[in-house]
Amino acid sequence: MCNNKNRKIRSFVRRQGRWTKAQKRAIDSCWDLYGIDVKNQKNIPDLFLKKQPSWLEIGFGDGENLYHMAKNNPHINFIGIEVYLSGIGILLQKLKLDPLPNLKISREDAIEVLSYNFTDNSMDKIFLLFPDPWHKKKHNKRRFVNKKNIDVMYKKLKTAGDLHIATDWQDYAEHTLDTLNKDKRWQNKSSKFDYMQNPPHRIKTKFEKRGLKLGHKIYDMIFKKI
């Protein structure tokens, strides 16, 4: 077994997972319309024909929330990043039936795409909803919320842009809240500087419902770039 001490620590494990023939057909037939070729795109928001505010969802899962937001906000351009092909396939199946011109998808590493394919100050909102909690202590270093990734997201957001993070893992929420509350570049939009009640825009996804069934509490945090 090879052991590379300099191997990059990622917040995900790239695996194909289970996907149906219908999902594969949707990817094959719709990717050219909705997929992003990151090799040839310096600033992804420029892909859209209409120049309007741009919102990004990192790790959109099956695309439930992303699809909902794009469908109900045609005056906003939406970009979704997801590495799991089954989730991408599910979203593209919906888009085959109900095309949305204000939505684009990337299947690459989110931080690499943000770093190299978005110009600074180009995004109005970034959503990170129910990221992999990596709940075992030895795996905590894989969590998406860390100083490096926060720095990247800060650069790409416009001034007064929002970073919305949600999780159903208490220690992940407490770590995120403490990290961003201490960072003077961000303003917590909660009046009590803790968690948001009834946050706007997002819907209750199957991942959130799964957490609720397990007895987990939901923690939403929205921070404004200042």
Examine the residue annotation and report whether 132 is marked as an active-site residue of this protein: yes
Sequential DSSP letters for 181-225: HH-TTEEE-STTSS--SS-SS----HHHHHHHHTTPPPEEEEEEE
H helices of the chain, where? Answer: 21-34, 64-72, 85-97, 110-117, 147-156, 170-182, 206-213
Task: Answer whether 117's CB lies under 8 Å from 54's CB.
Answer: no
From the candidates 28, 109, 124, 132, which is the catalytic residue? 132
Look up residue 149 and give its two tokens. Answer: 């990734």
Point out the residues that are catalytic.
132
